[in-house]
Amino acid sequence: MGVYHAGSRAVQDRVGVRDLADHVGRAIGDGVGPVVAAFLGLQPLLVVGAADPVDGRVWATAFTGTPGFVRATGPHRISVAVDGPRPADPFAAAQATPGTPVGTIALDPRTRRRVRLNGLLRPTPHGFAVETDRVFANCPKYLHRRTAYETVDRVPGPPRRGAGLTPDQADFVTASDTFFLATVHPGGAGHPARAEASHRGGAPGFVRVASPDTLSWRDHPGNSMFLSLGNLEADPRAGLLFLDWTTGRTLQLTGEARARFAPDGERAVVFTVTEAVDTPHALPLRWSAPGYSPADPEPSR
């Protein structure tokens, strides 16, 4: 069984990077080595994406804790020490269901490093574990440096749910310099069902809101594996997570995403919102102001 399923291969071939993808794909392993284990132990934030096992909607969510709350507990297993499923979080059903395919990303704005670990979720008495079958690092391109954070005492506000974006939420999206994308692959043709959680970054305004239920972003050149876009080629379900690095607000969106390829080689992704969950003060972390990635144009555009 190869690293890539037919969806990723279709996008790689369309862009003309199959050989490069094969080279880069050799870095994908299935185990948590000592370097990754040490990195995980320093992180206060983990983003996780999965499909709801009941209604199939895809969501991304964030977990936080004192560094060490995410740790390697075996060569193919990480443990996440958190409270039980949060009833107001649309990820709760996935978190409570053994065997749910999940994608995770541990991202450190201080060092502009990130690691993705995918596998199957197992609830535990103190949170959940992930039995990993894919572990790999991503380059720091489009990841903004934030040099420090502090943990503050916050009580999450009641989540506001809707079928589309309010004007305030649209402003939040367009002011964001980061979001996380969750995608899934249903499996088949020798490939297991999988989920991916990936990072997208840019100067504020890189995500554009066309209407209360439609937004889009340019797909920047990356590592050429096209794991997320490959998933979308096979299954358009997707989830987005926007977070306010200062106030801890989170905006979770679920819906469908489709890539559009222009003749000049430009790519964009158009996302149609099915449901939005907006939670004030959801995360207890307050980060410093960003130093924008050198790969981005000036944020004043």
| pLDDT tens readout for residues 254-291 | 999 999 998 887 899 999 999 999 999 999 999 999 99
CATH (domain of 100):
2.30.110.10
DSSP letters, 99-122, are TEEEEEEEEETTTTEEEEEEEEEE
pLDDT one-digit tens code per residue, 128-175: 999 999 999 987 888 899 999 999 999 999 999 999 999 999 999 999
- Is 293 inside a domain boundary? no
> With 90 as the cut, is the pLDDT of residue 47 above it?
yes
Task: Give the C-alpha separation, 180 to 49, whole Å.
Answer: 9
- For residue 223, what are the contacts with CB-CB under 8 A and spacing of at least 6? 24, 138, 139
Mean pLDDT across the chain? 93
- Is 93 inside a domain boundary? yes
- Is 300 inside a domain boundary? no
Which residues span the domain enclosing 111?
A: 6-287
DSSP class of 41: T
> With 60 as the cut, is the pLDDT of residue 240 above it?
yes
Task: Give the C-alpha separation, 102 to 92, whole Å.
Answer: 13
- Is 240 inside a domain boundary? yes
- Is 298 inside a domain boundary? no
**pLDDT score for 192:** 86
Domains contained in the chain, number: 1
**pLDDT score for 298:** 47
**pLDDT score for 85:** 86
- Is 244 inside a domain boundary? yes
Count of residues making up the chain:
301
DSSP class of 191: B
| Tokens encoding 230 | 């490959």
Rounded to a whole number of angstroms, the CA Rg of the chain reads: 18
- pLDDT class of 294 with cuts at 50, 70, 90: confident
User: Phi/psi zone of residue 56: left (φ > 0), alpha (ψ -120 to 50 degrees), beta?
Assistant: left
Q: Between residues 295 and 111, which one has the greater pLDDT? A: 111
- Is 155 inside a domain boundary? yes
Mean pLDDT, range 209-233, rounded to an integer: 91
Q: What percent of the chain has pLDDT over 70?
A: 98
- For residue 246, what are the contacts with CB-CB under 8 A and spacing of at least 6? 286, 287
**pLDDT score for 296:** 67
Mean pLDDT, range 105-119, rounded to an integer: 95
Q: Are strands 77-81 and 149-151 parallel, antiparallel or unpaired?
A: unpaired
Task: Give the C-alpha separation, 57 to 64, whole Å.
Answer: 23
Task: Give the C-alpha separation, 155 to 242, whole Å.
Answer: 19
- pLDDT class of 299 with cuts at 50, 70, 90: very low
- For residue 3, what are the contacts with CB-CB under 8 A and spacing of at least 6? 25, 28, 225
- Is 218 inside a domain boundary? yes
